[in-house]
Structure 1
Amino acid sequence: MYGQTIRSAIWIAATAGLYLSLAMMVPAAVDFYFGNADWQVFAASAFVVGSFCLGVAMAARGSPAPFSRRLGFLVVNLLWVTLSVTGAVPLYMSSLGLDMADALFESVSAVTTTGATVIAGLDTTPPGLLMWRSLLQWIGGIGIVAMGLLVLPFLRVGGFTVFKIESSDTSEKPFARFSMFIRAFFAIYIGLTLVCALLYGAFGMSGFDAINHAMTTIATGGFSTRDASFGAFQSFGLIWTATIFMALAGLPFSVMILFAVRGRLDALRDPQIAAYGGLILVLTVLIALGLRLNQGEDFIHALTHAAFNVVSIVTTTGYASDDYTTWGSFAVALMFVATFLGGCSGSTSGGIKAYRLVIIASSIRSGLMRLIYPNAIRPVRYGSVTVEPDMQRTVFLFVCAYTGIWALGAIALAATGLDIETALSGSITALANVGPGIGPVIGPAGNFSTIGDPGKLIMIFLMLLGRLEILAVLVLLVPAFWRD
């Protein structure tokens, strides 16, 4: 049974790699259309990767193992490693001259929708490579939502979805058939991408820029076709369009599906949505007021850029319309705090996520009330639902692991020679899958190209840890997991 589980996980991962090799023909076609020789790189990469993955899939083919927690953990980890490695192949073989560490860093950053980049000169980078980065993020966003809604709830390490907690019957599903749910999800994901691209084009982006930015906006990935990110597009229409769609992408897709397909207005009452929106509103107003009072900015201008950059960081997209590290220490401190937060569960966002913050706040309030009224029964609630002790433990275990790994990651990065500001912000921006950090090296005006290979490898590990909800990776390090 154990060997069958490993073989099934390998077969699934190899099949995913095979599909990704077919996706390489999209940037190949883009480069061929624009007359760039890198189309041959993508065509060759598609053949090499496709042949290898096909051979592995055929070798691992057999009677599938029944789905279990062990299989789920193996599949989740193998899928992201496979997509990261196969995505790096054309980047390594391209005309950019990236070494293996740089190519792998860029690919992992794309697949995990982190958005940190080692590529300088994006304005002159071949169009096929820009499309490949955006496509990897868009595909990664699909995988993230699918993992958060369908796999992690079963494994009890994340994915606290609205249709799981807003029903007294915990076995209730949003749709009677899985295929109906998948169709609804893809329709909304693709629909949002198309509408976002059309609006970007209407407000002045070129068709190529609009398509690329739409994919990375809905995936909350943040890869841009310009070194200056959204700072290259000085249009309030574009900035507010991006702000709205980033905020939408940070919402639970389960809520959007229930609202759009079933017309269930009650789905919008999910407590994490209120917490998510409230945090964005408070941070935006505070930063805008700080810019107005301390730097004399016009309030509408300050509000526009504050809203864009706060939403970008909270949703872990990572775009920047301005170098917010020049806004003063108050704004920088708030943006650093925002790096930890994240969007909603079941979205493409990373970070701690709003539902965990709601449970932690409820647990603290319940604990304080018990100090005042020792004999009172004060259950921890998520809205009107009582949170089970197992879920409470899982949330606090996650947060403890999250902060501990952030600290260890910062220490490891500092050991490679990075200054403390870069090490601290680099660790959390990788773990939270945000993208830009704080400071002149990896801030919104910089990139990660000057970090040495050891630092990049550490950040690669942190990006994968954060994307896979930490516990899904750490469980593989427990010897009991590997016992038959």
Structure 2
Amino acid sequence: MLLPALVDHADHNDDWVVFIGSSALVAAVCALVAVATRGERIVMTQRLGFLLVTCVWLTASVVGALPLYLSGLGITFETAVYEAVSGVTTTGGTALTGLDSMPRGVLLWRSLLQWLGGIGLVAMMVLILPQLRGGGQSLFQLESSDRSDKLLPRFSQLASALVWVYGGLTFACAAAYYLAGMGLFDAVNHAMTTVTTAGFSTHDASLGRYGTPAILLVAILFMTLGALPAVLYIRIFLPRSFQRWSDPQVLVFLAICLVFGLALSAVRYFLEGVAAGTALLTGFFNLISLITTTGFSTQDYMLWPNAALGILLPALFIGGCAGSTAGGFKVNRLVILFSLVSANFRRLLRPHAVERLKYGRIDITPAMIETLMIFITLYLVLVVAGTIAMTMLGVDFLSAFSGSLSAVGNVGPGFGPLIGPAGNFSALPDGALWVLSFLMLVGRLEIVTVLILLSPDFWRDR
């Protein structure tokens, strides 16, 4: 919070006092907790891990909302919480308007929330999700008992490597934005929210404020890099590690982006008569923005032909690769589902054949299949429940459905007159913001991590 305080103080904005006060309050509470638990011996268990991750994200959301609520924005507590949750979960949907005239300290704080949330998410996936056998497929080799098959010997080393990866990508992205013509402050903010596939902007028009194709090309490149597994970049620098590692989801994800991007560009070129270069640039930009769950926009794609919306809607669902900051259903699960369907067809043709299902070098076990089916069911149940809850609060069906789907997948924008790319979430009632905040948190933590806390068995002593 001291960084936004410095920026506001330099701009002679009184909100620097708010950031200083919030920082002092949070530091005091943390100091009291540290003193109260000093000398305690903590035994990390799987149950404690689930509880810890959920509590950390809840705490981060409240802490992130504190300076927003106390600042001179004059927003409600519900709006502040929604904005903070959208930040730390790297969703990118905003309930704030007037970003162009907003204090720079607040804009920097929003970007910092997304950058820190993105790094924290990947670290959580490495530490917790391999135990679930349903998330982070590209990281499954970390649970192997063979140390030579691990990426790095200790988790602390892996966490440090992740920070260096995202720090390096952020620096490169900021430099590329600056060289492409973006101002320094905007370049730094957009770099933090591009690399983490988050989507907060410093302008109401998002990247549509910049008409420079070079800026959109930079965004396309780094959104794509941010949606790839983080371990991919670490393995590049490890001797012979990259050659031993292959993740099917990477090629599938890139293929989906290419096919869907070309299809969307073709729709704009043939049905709208847009110039070929513009059709390719806007088609790929908006497709990559949605499928990586970043949420940047350049124009209102709701005005495009229905065929274009038919291409963008699946992108809202698919998401990026497991082991990245991107949300959505995740490509690794699609690969496993395709393997299951193909195997089922082959068994129908050859009932007595015996085959091993594999995901890359990893065997697909019955436990993984069971967890995947549970995840799919819970994913759909959350979207339906969120849609019902929001329609009961007076939100139109299209906005309620796409908003719930966007929140669970941590995408950002949705479809409809309220929350489409030309609008934001400020028009939604406070109750709907609470619903979406819950869905964003549950979706960001891969659903099971949070919902398992609601099980009575979780709290029983074993």
Answer whether contact 1:157 1:471 (CA < 8 A) is retained: no
What pairs up with 1:337-352 in 2 under 5 angstroms? 337-352=314-329
Q: Counterpart of 2:269 in 1: which secondary structure? A: helix
Answer whether contact 1:164 1:171 (CA < 8 A) is retained: no
Answer whether contact 2:293 2:319 (CA < 8 A) is retained: yes
Matched residues in 2 for 1:470 and 1:182: separation?
23
Matched residues in 2 for 1:129 and 1:139: separation?
15
Q: Counterpart of 2:150 in 1: which secondary structure? A: coil
**How many pairs were matched up?**
461
Aligned twin of 1:9:
none
Of all paired residues, the percent bearing the same amino acid is 45
Answer whether contact 1:164 1:170 (CA < 8 A) is retained: no
Aligned twin of 1:99:
76
- Alignment of 1:301 onto 2:278: yes
Answer whether contact 1:30 1:127 (CA < 8 A) is retained: yes
Aligned twin of 1:18:
none
Q: Counterpart of 2:41 in 1: which secondary structure? A: coil
CA spacing shift, 1:336–1:268, aligned 2, 3 Å: farther
Aligned twin of 2:167:
190
- Alignment of 1:237 onto 2:214: yes
Farther off after superposition, 196-205 or 61-70: 61-70
Matched residues in 2 for 1:269 and 1:173: separation?
14
- Alignment of 1:440 onto 2:417: yes
Residues 409-433 of structure 1 deviation map (CA, whole Å, 9 limit, x = unaligned): 1111111111110011000011100
Q: Which of 52, 65, 72 is the matching residue for 1:88? A: 65
Residue 177 of structure 1, CA deviation? 3.7
- Alignment of 1:224 onto 2:189: no
Aligned twin of 2:456:
479
What amino acid does structure 2 have at the position aligned with 1:266? Q
CA spacing shift, 1:262–1:233, aligned 2, 3 Å: farther
Residue 170 of structure 1, CA deviation? 8.4
Residue 160 of structure 1, CA deviation? 1.8
Farther off after superposition, 277-286 or 158-167: 158-167
- Alignment of 1:282 onto 2:267: no
Residue 80 of structure 1, CA deviation? 0.2
CA spacing shift, 1:299–1:344, aligned 2, 3 Å: same
Residue 282 of structure 1, CA deviation? 1.2
Matched residues in 1 for 2:231 and 2:244: separation?
9
Residues 426-483 of structure 1 deviation map (CA, whole Å, 9 limit, x = unaligned): 0001110010000120001100001001100000000001000000111011101011
What pairs up with 1:125-136 in 2 under 5 angstroms? 125-136=102-113
- Alignment of 1:419 onto 2:380: no
Matched residues in 1 for 2:147 and 2:271: separation?
51
Q: TM-score, normalised by structure 2?
A: 0.96
What pairs up with 1:102-113 in 2 under 5 angstroms? 102-113=79-90
Q: Which of 405, 408, 421 is the matching residue for 1:428? A: 405
What pairs up with 1:446-465 in 2 under 5 angstroms? 446-465=423-442
Matched residues in 2 for 1:31 and 1:331: separation?
42
Q: Counterpart of 2:149 in 1: which secondary structure? A: coil
- Alignment of 1:154 onto 2:137: no
RMSD (Å) for aligned C-alpha atoms: 1.7
Q: Counterpart of 1:363 in 2: which secondary structure? A: helix
- Alignment of 1:327 onto 2:327: no
- Alignment of 1:403 onto 2:372: no
Answer whether contact 1:258 1:267 (CA < 8 A) is retained: no
What amino acid does structure 2 have at the position aligned with 1:334? I
Matched residues in 1 for 2:10 and 2:245: separation?
44
Matched residues in 1 for 2:203 and 2:238: separation?
37
Answer whether contact 2:130 2:140 (CA < 8 A) is retained: no
Aligned twin of 2:249:
272
Answer whether contact 2:228 2:321 (CA < 8 A) is retained: yes
Q: Counterpart of 1:424 in 2: which secondary structure? A: helix
Residue 376 of structure 1, CA deviation? 1.1
Residue 64 of structure 1, CA deviation? 3.2
Residue 238 of structure 1, CA deviation? 0.4
Matched residues in 2 for 1:384 and 1:418: separation?
46
Gaps of 5+ in 1: 1-23
What amino acid does structure 2 have at the position aligned with 1:417? G
Residues 224-255 of structure 1 deviation map (CA, whole Å, 9 limit, x = unaligned): 00000010011110001010000000000111
CA spacing shift, 1:168–1:68, aligned 2, 3 Å: closer
Q: Counterpart of 1:223 in 2: which secondary structure? A: coil
Matched residues in 2 for 1:194 and 1:64: separation?
39
Answer whether contact 1:157 1:469 (CA < 8 A) is retained: no
Residues 317-347 of structure 1 deviation map (CA, whole Å, 9 limit, x = unaligned): 1111221111111111221111111111110
Answer whether contact 2:142 2:150 (CA < 8 A) is retained: no
Q: Counterpart of 2:177 in 1: which secondary structure? A: helix
Aligned twin of 1:49:
26
Q: Which of 139, 151, 170 is the matching residue for 1:174? A: 151
What amino acid does structure 2 have at the position aligned with 1:40? V
- Alignment of 1:137 onto 2:136: no
Residue 157 of structure 1, CA deviation? 4.3
CA spacing shift, 1:26–1:59, aligned 2, 3 Å: same
Matched residues in 2 for 1:167 and 1:63: separation?
30
Answer whether contact 2:147 2:153 (CA < 8 A) is retained: no
Matched residues in 2 for 1:280 and 1:438: separation?
20
Q: Which of 212, 218, 227 is the matching residue for 2:189? A: 212
Matched residues in 1 for 2:80 and 2:43: separation?
36
Answer whether contact 1:165 1:385 (CA < 8 A) is retained: no
Matched residues in 2 for 1:165 and 1:314: separation?
27
What amino acid does structure 2 have at the position aligned with 1:423? A
Residue 355 of structure 1, CA deviation? 0.7
Matched residues in 2 for 1:71 and 1:144: separation?
17
- Alignment of 1:248 onto 2:225: yes
Residue 62 of structure 1, CA deviation? 4.0
What amino acid does structure 2 have at the position aligned with 1:416? L
What amino acid does structure 1 have at the position aligned with 2:27? G
